[in-house]
Copies of this chain bind each other. A is one copy, B any other.
Amino acid sequence: MQKELTIGKLLIGNPSDMSNIRYITGFSAPDAVIYLDTGTQRFLAVSPLEYGRAVSHTKSITVVSFEELKRSDKTRPTIIGLAVELIKRQHLNTVRVSADLPYLTAKKLLQAGIKIDVVEGPFLKQRAIKRPDEVARIREVQQAAVIACRAAVRKISSATIDGNGMLRDGTKRLDSESMRRLIDMVLLERDCVAEDTIVACGKQGAQPHERGSGPLMAGQPIVIDIFPRHKEHGYWGDLTRTVIKGRVSQELLNMYRAVKAAQRAALSAIKPRVHVRTVHRAAHREFNKRGYISELKNKAPHGFIHGTGHGVGLDIHEAPSVSNCKGVLRAGHVITVEPGLYYPELGGIRIEDTVVVMPDGWRYLYPCEKKFFIA
């Protein structure tokens, strides 16, 4: 079995961008590091700047300083040169790498006589199944999202409506920007950071990734999508609620009920061994049954135009995808369930929760009330 023994697993990059390195080593840094698993030993090579931190933040990993990998004939080695040196010292001739390995890095490894085996899809399949300590961390972030969402809803609830149909907090106009700030402040109090919190009112909400700007209006749906990351441990949470203040048209009310029913249908389908496609189709079926057809009109999507959900962990979007694709749910998956309806003339309505798949079904990571109309 000589051959197998010469294959290693290689990751090169900034752990702060590469969750795989953070997941395996527990170490994060803003500078490039090299991780190598020979099958019998795991190495983390770091710059002398990071050496002390790396030693104290990792366990059962051999931390190596770049200095130790410098060859006397090279004065300024590149990170790839250092990786080649580490690989050769371990007598490996092939390395398994993730799909995001840069082409230039790959070329240089090949030039150095090292073979490359690229893994398509998740490099660390075990990441999809969360350990209890990971579930606890995601729950902590999800709780922060729920508390921030409640603060936002309370603010909208206590708003008045002026003659132009705009929401007001005393003399101040409520707008997407001030609501986003409020939400992000509540998150920060809990050591969570959100870069792209969505507070999108009316037609803006018809574009699922529109962050929203300008005044919040009565009688129009307000999509609030909060996806923070914990500043210390790096896990994410994800939550969306859609609310409306003032008069609600029957059309919007029906849409909201359809989204809620679609979420319920999708949730009901969740348990181990169920195909993700089945969960997605359950949501779709509910919309179709109620006459909400999903289609493209003039390049603009109408109806339910995205997947039902995605895995959440050290990345905001990770395996498994809950959409019209292959894959089966397993206990320990942490996924979002977020059906929505979008119409350019009306806006968007989306309800999203993050749940953990349990042996007997699923559980909310942190429950949050679902209320559309707020007095």
Binding site for B on A (CB under 8 A): 16-17, 29-31, 48-53, 65, 67-68, 97, 99-107, 116, 118, 120, 177, 181, 184-185, 188-189, 191, 193, 195-196, 206-210, 229, 231, 296, 299-301, 305-306, 316-317, 344
CA distance A30 to B306 in the complex (A): 14
Chain A interface SS verdict (over half): mixed
A316 partner residues in chain B, CB cutoff 8 A: 30
A120-B104, A184-B188, A188-B184 given as contacts; is B99 within 8 A of A48 (CB)? no
Is the Cβ of B185 less than 8 Å from the Cβ of A52? Answer: no
CA distance A192 to B116 in the complex (A): 41
Is the Cβ of B104 less than 8 Å from the Cβ of A102? Answer: no
CA distance A31 to B106 in the complex (A): 25
Is the Cβ of B181 less than 8 Å from the Cβ of A49? Answer: no
CA distance A195 to B29 in the complex (A): 12
CA distance A107 to B301 in the complex (A): 32
CA distance A51 to B300 in the complex (A): 7
Task: List the B residue with the shortest CB-CB distance to A234.
Answer: B195
A184 partner residues in chain B, CB cutoff 8 A: 188, 193
Is the Cβ of B102 less than 8 Å from the Cβ of A101? Answer: yes
A184-B188, A185-B188, A188-B185 given as contacts; is B209 within 8 A of A50 (CB)? yes
A103-B97, A185-B185, A188-B188 given as contacts; is B301 within 8 A of A48 (CB)? yes
Task: List the B residue with the shortest CB-CB distance to A106.
Answer: B103
Of the candidates B101, B195, B317, which one forms a contact with A103 in the assembled complex, judged by CB atoms under 8 Å apart? B101
CA distance A107 to B29 in the complex (A): 29
9 smallest CB-CB distances across A and B, nearest first, come from A103-B106, A99-B104, A103-B103, A48-B301, A101-B103, A100-B102, A65-B299, A53-B207, A51-B299
A306 partner residues in chain B, CB cutoff 8 A: 49
